[in-house]
Amino acid sequence: MVFNTKMIFALLFLCFSATCVFAGDPTLEFEWKVTYGTIAPLGVPQQGILINGQFPGPAINCTSNNNIVVNVFNQLDEPLLLTWAGIQQRKNSWQDGTPALCAPSSLERTTPIASRSRTRLEPTFTSLPPLSTGPLVVLVCSRSTADPLSPFPLTIPRGVSCSSWGLVQQGPQVPKEHSRFCRSIGRPDGIQINGQSSKVGDANAKPLFTFEAGKTYRFRVCNVGLRLSVNFRVQGHTMKVVEVEGSHTVQNLYDSLDLHVGQCMSVLVTADQTPKDYYFVASSRFAQHPLSTVAVIRYANGNGAASPELPPPPPENTKGIAWSISQFRSFRWNLTASAARPNPQGSYKYGKINITRTIKLVNTRSSSNGKLRFGINGRASRGRQVEVAPNVVNGTYRNFVEIIFENHEKTIQTWHLDGFSFFAVAIEPGRWSPEKRKNYNLLDALSRNTVQVYPNSWAAVMTTLDNAGMWNLRSEMRERAYLGQQFYLSVVSEARSLRDEYSLPETQELCGIVKSLPKPAPYT
């Protein structure tokens, strides 16, 4: 598939999975107008991309099993492609919105996108990789009725987006040149929280949220950045992790939490301190040039400014990696809590399923004719001029597979798989070997759709290929995915039945080498 060199790809991070939709489920329709506008996440005005004139974008409130239809009016001077990362689009990769499957939307084109909500829908955010302007939309979803198996109150959470931000790299114009000549977008200039950045002692800083003493609040925090991991903490308060990427967790307390690119989690914070102002702190992780920012959390009727003494960040370098791996291992599935369906999460015994195939992936970096390239196992996707065949791995429908990610580089990696959730069973330093399977968590690893891989380390995930279609597996570092570090996993059901996969929609646009070919016969 060949794309315009000025194309902008948009990635919607919707951290939930699809499930069946029943006849009685309501449909909610929304209209998004995508335009350019002036934003200032670091206090310096720059051109950004807005949805309905907002940055971050509008919230969507819905309940479990709602059908969501979004009509997108692209008023940019570029084609626009939206992909819903985190929603599984069961049997329907045609709506996944990834570049090798879908043609981008042109100017003034209305594009309906249907998504099906499941239990525990959470707020997440939009970013525009690799020519990005950062977070654009928050999706907030909650159950309409109490769930007896829910381990915490299912109220609408407060959405928080944290990410690195660049004054130059985020503008719509400059990154075009970087992508055209295959250059790095460079290091970021700061950290933003919900589109803003503040300094300690800033008397003009508006509060991010207001607390009422004695109440417990749920925050859904997402890293919507292009490259850097972040650590967040709330001054004077502990955080109880209750959910990570759609999975209920064993509820442990933390003073600070690492959040890698593309990842989201829910924490509970109790307003049990002296009523005054406190700082929500976000800082970079594993970066050569540390960055940080703060946002104010204000107690209602409180008296007093936030203390300038911020909670310290976790260690860096080798100690920091060990600290972060230990925190990853502390996130465990709550086996008795509800899942997407009305049964406990622990009813799925993934550790007792035989592995039928192992796929090993090593991220690589190289230079070709002076152009920066990223790849997998030494092979790079061809970016804008995508030739689908060389970048497709065939998977067998309903097989249980193990995917190994190895990182031989000095920078942290994050990976995302469309169409599936997987069990992140292990992360360790060094190189993977079959003997490492004895260290897997085969009981209560989290079911999620992203996984981080630390420098000179490996990660193992396991999943059932039960969703027929063509699904994108990519680096969550936007420039790495755009410059080659991605491929497609083709899962074909031999039955060629609507039971397993929907037919190619009649309205689907074709482009590239298949533009003039007839569409395949519909399934029955």
Q: State which of 83-87, 181-185, 387-391, 393-397 shows the largest mean pLDDT.
A: 393-397
Tokens describing residue 378: 């030494």
pLDDT at 421 over 90: yes
Average of per-residue pLDDT across 90-117: 60
pLDDT at 144 over 60: no
Say what the pTM is.
0.88
- Lowest-pLDDT range, 21-25, 33-37, 108-112, 137-141? 108-112
Alpha helix (H) residue ranges in 303-386: 317-330
pLDDT at 474 over 50: yes
Q: pLDDT-derived band of residue 502, with 50, 70 and 90 as boundaries?
A: very high
Predicted pLDDT at 186: 79
User: CA 10 to CA 432: how far, in whole Å?
Assistant: 34
Predicted pLDDT at 17: 34
Q: Return the SS3 of 489.
A: strand
Predicted pLDDT at 142: 46
CB within 8 Å of 249: residues ≥ 6 apart: 241, 242, 243, 331, 332, 333, 334, 446
pLDDT at 185 over 60: yes
- Name residue 34's beta-bridge partners: 51, 74
What's the number of domains the chain is made of? 1
What's the whole-number average pLDDT of the chain? 82
What secondary structure does DSSP assign to 242-271, as a single string? EEETTEEB---EES-EEE-TT-EEEEEEE-
Average of per-residue pLDDT across 141-170: 65
CB within 8 Å of 5: residues ≥ 6 apart: 176, 179, 180, 384
pLDDT at 349 over 80: yes
How much of the chain exceeds pLDDT 90, in percent? 50
Question: Residue 485 in contact with residue 475, Cβ under 8 Å?
Answer: yes
Indicate whether 356 belongs to any domain.
yes
CA–chain centroid gap for 395, Å, is 23
Residue 411, domain extent? 345-514
Tokens describing residue 508: 């689907």
Indicate whether 194 belongs to any domain.
no
pLDDT at 432 over 50: yes
Name the strand (E) or helix (H) holding 357. Answer: strand 357-368
Predicted pLDDT at 407: 98
Q: pLDDT-derived band of residue 110, with 50, 70 and 90 as boundaries?
A: very low
Predicted pLDDT at 1: 37
Tokens describing residue 117: 């909500």
CA angle 282, 285, 287 (to 5 degrees): 120
pLDDT at 198 over 50: yes
Predicted pLDDT at 68: 78
In a 10 Å sphere around its CB, with 0-12 CB exposed, 13-18 middle and 19+ buried, how is residue 8 labelled? buried
Q: Return the SS3 of 37.
A: strand
pLDDT tens digits along 213-270: 999 999 989 998 888 999 999 999 999 999 999 899 999 999 999 999 999 999 999 9
User: CA 115 to CA 17: how far, in whole Å?
Assistant: 9
Q: pLDDT-derived band of residue 117, with 50, 70 and 90 as boundaries?
A: very low
Average of per-residue pLDDT across 409-436: 97
Indicate whether 374 belongs to any domain.
yes
Predicted pLDDT at 176: 54
Predicted pLDDT at 386: 41
Tokens describing residue 80: 């626009």
Predicted pLDDT at 339: 65
User: CA 417 to CA 419: how far, in whole Å?
Assistant: 7
What secondary structure does DSSP assign to 68-118, as a single string? EEEEEEE-SSS-EEEEEET---TT-GGGS--TTT-PPB-TT-EEEEEEE--
pLDDT at 306 over 80: yes
The domain that contains 383 carries what CATH number? 2.60.40.420
User: CA 499 to CA 409: how far, in whole Å?
Assistant: 43
Average of per-residue pLDDT across 112-140: 37
Place of tokens 């919900």: 194
Question: Residue 28 in contact with residue 70, Cβ under 8 Å?
Answer: no
- Name residue 410's beta-bridge partners: none
Q: Return the SS3 of 318.
A: helix
Tokens describing residue 183: 């250059």
Average of per-residue pLDDT across 157-183: 65
Q: pLDDT-derived band of residue 355, with 50, 70 and 90 as boundaries?
A: very high
CA–chain centroid gap for 158, Å, is 17
Label the pairing between strands 207-211 and 292-299: parallel
What's the one-letter identity of residue 257? L
Q: pLDDT-derived band of residue 154, with 50, 70 and 90 as boundaries?
A: low
Q: What is the dihedral of CA 95, 98, 101, 102, to 10 degrees?
A: 70
More confident residue, 193 or 21: 193
Average of per-residue pLDDT across 456-474: 96
- Residue 390, CA distances (Å) to 339, 379, 380, 386, 494 in order: 37, 9, 9, 9, 22
pLDDT at 506 over 50: yes
Indicate whether 107 belongs to any domain.
no
Indicate whether 45 belongs to any domain.
no
User: CA 399 to CA 402: how far, in whole Å?
Assistant: 10
For residue 508, which of 496, 494, 522 has the smallest C-alpha distance? 522
CA angle 348, 352, 353 (to 5 degrees): 90
